[in-house]
Amino acid sequence: MASPPVSQPEGMLPPRSEVGVTGWLHANLFSNWFNSVLTLVSAALLVTGLWFGLKWIFLAADWTVISELGGRFLLGRYNTEAACEGQNCFWRPQAALIMVSVLLGAAWGLRGNRVARAVAWLVAGVSAAFAFLPYNLATMGLDVRILLLLNLPAVPLGWALAKYTPLGTGTRVTILGVAIFFITLILLRGLPGLPFLQPVSVVYWGGLSLNLILAVGGITLSLPIGIALALGRRSNLPVVKVLCVFFIEVFRGVPLITLLFMSQTLVPLAFPEDMPQNSLFRAAVVITLFSSAYMAENIRGGLQALHPGQAEAARALGLPGWQTTMLISLPQAIRNVIPAIVGQFIGLFKDTSLVYIIGMLDVVAIGRSFIQSNPEYLPSARELFVFLAAVFWIFTYGMSYISGKVEDYMGVGRR
């Protein structure tokens, strides 16, 4: 017969090696001799990398190429004399940015959590910080700085709209986001006949704004298209199933670069001849369809992972097939594959840099063309591409971080 456990005397504290910082270090980094050696070697490599990396960043690197490019990183050639006569189009992307700050503030007021608040203030704060760049007024005028600073009051404005107006519902905030996206496109493109909205050809669109427009459009459209394709591939209708399988396998089997090249000739065939088209439209269509094919497989994997007993229980309750799919199977499938969906979104955002092969100057192509056309900055190419890598990392890590918070909130991976 086993003896009863010995009770710990009242008031006796646990050993210091098991609690606090010391306990965490012992449990995670120095639990045995192998982990201790691995921790010390990793720490030595990390310290060495930080020493030489920070020394190069702050002492040896020449970052003048970044300040020389300036706003071209964000807008490309949008506000040049060739694109916008008089160069008075600078306010359009900044007005769109203010609307985005309002939208993020509304999302914060709707959700009310720390993540939404942090994202809203981070975007507004970074945007406002650009107003204090050490440029003279000839390079960055006072009107530009004021528009950048307006992002700060735009966040509480959006929060108040979601809290104290009928706008404060998920559906209406979503509709507001879609409306802001299309208003942004109208602002950037312009409207004929309006002197303050003179048309600007998409040939002059570029920089980070081009990457964001393609990414937001692709993310917004690829998810519903991917869901439709996934459901079609599982359909009992042979024609629908074959068409969906054909679409998915073709787009998953051809590199995106090849599809972008083909878009110059194939995409116009799918639309009337008199329909106006441009390189931005073609790139958006190809990137969206390419991402939709991969999204369909992610959603199909989530649907197949569900236990068939749930659909059987729904049918036993008398629910028709479409209600079983839309109300029971599909929400659980999307919840289970959130990491895969966000991974696809991150890949889509990075793939937008491939549009340079069809003549569009995204943020990477802007930097590369500047280096190539200004040989005196060739020694600074390393600094330029380190900066571009940091820009992409910030956006992709932000998406991953928000995804992690959503997964924790929805209990992904937990019963």
200-234: per-residue pLDDT in tens?
888 888 889 999 999 999 999 999 999 999 999 98
pLDDT at 170: 85
Whether the CB-CB separation of 112 and 162 falls below 8 Å is answered with no
Crossing angle of helices 279-304/338-351, nearest 10°? 160
Query: Is the predicted pLDDT of residue 179 greater than 80, yes or no?
Result: yes
Query: Is the predicted pLDDT of residue 72 greater than 90, yes or no?
Result: no
CB-count exposure of residue 168 (10 Å: 0-12, 13-18, 19+):
middle
Structure confidence by residue, pLDDT tens digits, 337-387: 888 999 999 999 999 999 888 888 899 999 998 898 888 888 888 999 999
pLDDT at 87: 77
Nearest-angstrom CA–CA distance, 222 and 187: 24
Mean local confidence (pLDDT), 251-265: 87
Nearest-angstrom CA–CA distance, 413 and 415: 7
Higher pLDDT, 407 or 176: 176
3-state DSSP percent of the chain in helix, strand and coil, to 5: 75, 0, 25
Please name each of the domains of the chain with its CATH number: 88-200 (no CATH), 204-415 (1.10.3720.10)
Query: Is the predicted pLDDT of residue 11 greater than 80, yes or no?
Result: no
Query: Is the predicted pLDDT of residue 1 greater than 60, yes or no?
Result: no
pLDDT at 169: 86
pTM for the full model? Answer: 0.85
Nearest-angstrom CA–CA distance, 196 and 207: 23
Nearest-angstrom CA–CA distance, 107 and 116: 7
Which residue intervals of 254-278 are DSSP H helices? 256-263
Residue 205 bridge partners (DSSP): 76
78 membership: H or E segment, kind and range: none
- DSSP per residue over 370-415, as a string? HHHH-GGGGGGHHHHHHHHHHHHHHHHHHHHHHHHHHHHHHTTT--
C-alpha distance from residue 277 to each of 31, 200, 271, 283 (Å): 63, 14, 9, 11
pLDDT at 8: 52
To the nearest whole percent, how much of the chain has pLDDT over 90? 35
Mean local confidence (pLDDT), 21-34: 82
Nearest-angstrom CA–CA distance, 193 and 197: 8
Q: How confident is the model at residue 272 (pLDDT cuts 50, 70, 90)?
A: confident
Average pLDDT value over all residues in the chain: 86
Q: Which two tokens stand for residue 75?
A: 């807008």
Q: Which residue has the tokens 């991917």?
A: 226
pLDDT at 50: 92
Q: How confident is the model at residue 242 (pLDDT cuts 50, 70, 90)?
A: very high
Nearest-angstrom CA–CA distance, 59 and 117: 36
